[in-house]
Chains A and B, each alone.
Chain A
Amino acid sequence: MNLEFGRLALVFLFAIIPVVGIALGINSPGLRARIPLFVAFFAGTIPIISLYVPKKFLSGPTGMSPRLDQWLIIVYAFAILLGVVNVLQNSTRKIVRRESGWPFSIVLLAGLFVTGGAGVYGAISRKGITLLPDGTATPFKWIQDQFFQPLQSTIFALLAFFMASAAFRAFRARNTEATILLLAGGLVMAGRVPLLEFLAAPFPPLQPAAAGASQALGKLTEWIMDTPNGAAQSGIIIGAALGAASMAIRVILGIERGYLGLGRGE
Chain B
Amino acid sequence: MAGMLDKLLSLDRRWIFLLVLLCVGTPIVMPIGLPVTTTGSTRAAFDYIESLKPGNYVWISFDYGPSSAPENDPMAEAFLRQCFAKKIRVIVCAFYPLGGLGLATNSLAKVTAEYPNLRYGEDYVNLGYKDGAAAVMRRLGEDIAEAFPADVRGTPLAQLPIMKGLRSIRQVQLVCSVATGVIGEYWITQVHSQIGTPIIIGPTAVAAPKYYAYLNAGQLVGMLGGMKGAAEYEKLLAARYPDMAHFYQSTRGFTATKGMDGQTVIHAVIILFILVGNVAYIMSRRAAQKKGA
Shortest beta-carbon distance from A176 to chain B in Å:
14
Residues on A with beta carbons closer than 8 Å to the beta carbon of B135: 66, 69, 72
A233 touches B102 (CB 8 A): no
Shortest beta-carbon distance from A78 to chain B in Å:
14
Is residue A96 within 8 Å, beta carbon to beta carbon, of the partner chain? no
B269 touches A164 (CB 8 A): yes
Residues on B with beta carbons closer than 8 Å to the beta carbon of A190: 267, 271
Is residue A104 within 8 Å, beta carbon to beta carbon, of the partner chain? no
Which parts of A222-236 form the interface with B (CB within 8 Å)?
A: 222, 225-226, 229-231, 233-234
A218 touches B264 (CB 8 A): no
Total inter-chain residue pairs, C-beta < 8 Å: 140
Residues on A with beta carbons closer than 8 Å to the beta carbon of B99: 144, 149
Residues on A with beta carbons closer than 8 Å to the beta carbon of B216: 226, 230, 234
Which parts of A166-220 form the interface with B (CB within 8 Å)?
A: 167-169, 171-173, 182, 185-186, 189-190, 192-195, 197-199, 201, 211, 214-215, 218
A161 touches B66 (CB 8 A): no
Chain B contact surface mostly = helix
Is residue A132 within 8 Å, beta carbon to beta carbon, of the partner chain? no
Is residue B249 within 8 Å, beta carbon to beta carbon, of the partner chain? no
Q: Which A residues form the contact surface with B (CB < 8 A)?
A: 61, 66, 69, 72-73, 130-131, 141, 144, 148-149, 152-153, 155-156, 160-161, 163-165, 167-169, 171-173, 182, 185-186, 189-190, 192-195, 197-199, 201, 211, 214-215, 218, 222, 225-226, 229-231, 233-234, 237
Name 21 A/B residue pairs within 8 A (Cβ), A-sorted: A66-B135, A69-B132, A73-B131, A141-B102, A161-B16, A161-B17, A164-B17, A164-B270, A165-B13, A168-B13, A168-B274, A171-B277, A193-B228, A195-B271, A198-B265, A201-B34, A215-B37, A222-B39, A230-B212, A233-B213, A234-B213
B271 touches A233 (CB 8 A): no
A198 touches B32 (CB 8 A): yes
Is residue B4 within 8 Å, beta carbon to beta carbon, of the partner chain? no
Shortest beta-carbon distance from B236 to chain A in Å:
15
Residues on A with beta carbons closer than 8 Å to the beta carbon of B274: 167-168, 171, 182, 185-186
B17 touches A229 (CB 8 A): no
Task: Indicate which residue in B17, B266, B267 contacts A165 across the interface (CB closer than 8 Å).
Answer: B17
Closest 8 interchain pairs by CB?
A: A69-B135, A156-B67, A193-B264, A233-B213, A165-B13, A234-B213, A230-B212, A168-B273
A165 to B273, CA, bound (A): 9
Residues on A with beta carbons closer than 8 Å to the beta carbon of B131: 73
CB-CB contacts of B266-282 with A at 8 A, as 1s and 0s? 11111101100110011
Residues on A with beta carbons closer than 8 Å to the beta carbon of B34: 193-194, 197-198, 201
B16 touches A153 (CB 8 A): no
A91 to B162, CA, bound (A): 50
Q: Tell which of B49-57, B82-90, B139-147 binds the partner.
A: B139-147
A61 touches B142 (CB 8 A): yes
A149 touches B66 (CB 8 A): yes
Shortest beta-carbon distance from A47 to chain B in Å:
9
A172 to B279, CA, bound (A): 9
Residues on B with beta carbons closer than 8 Å to the beta carbon of A165: 13, 16-17
Is residue B179 within 8 Å, beta carbon to beta carbon, of the partner chain? no
Task: Indicate which residue in B19, B39, B271 contacts A189 across the interface (CB closer than 8 Å).
Answer: B271
Residues on A with beta carbons closer than 8 Å to the beta carbon of B102: 130, 141, 144
A137 to B132, CA, bound (A): 26
Q: A73-B131, A152-B66, A153-B66 are in contact. Are A218 and B271 (CB under 8 A)?
A: no
Which A residue's beta carbon lies closest to that of B131? A73
Q: A130-B101, A201-B32, A237-B213 are in contact. Are A194 and B67 (CB under 8 A)?
A: no
Is residue B210 within 8 Å, beta carbon to beta carbon, of the partner chain? yes
B270 touches A189 (CB 8 A): yes
Shortest beta-carbon distance from A64 to chain B in Å:
13
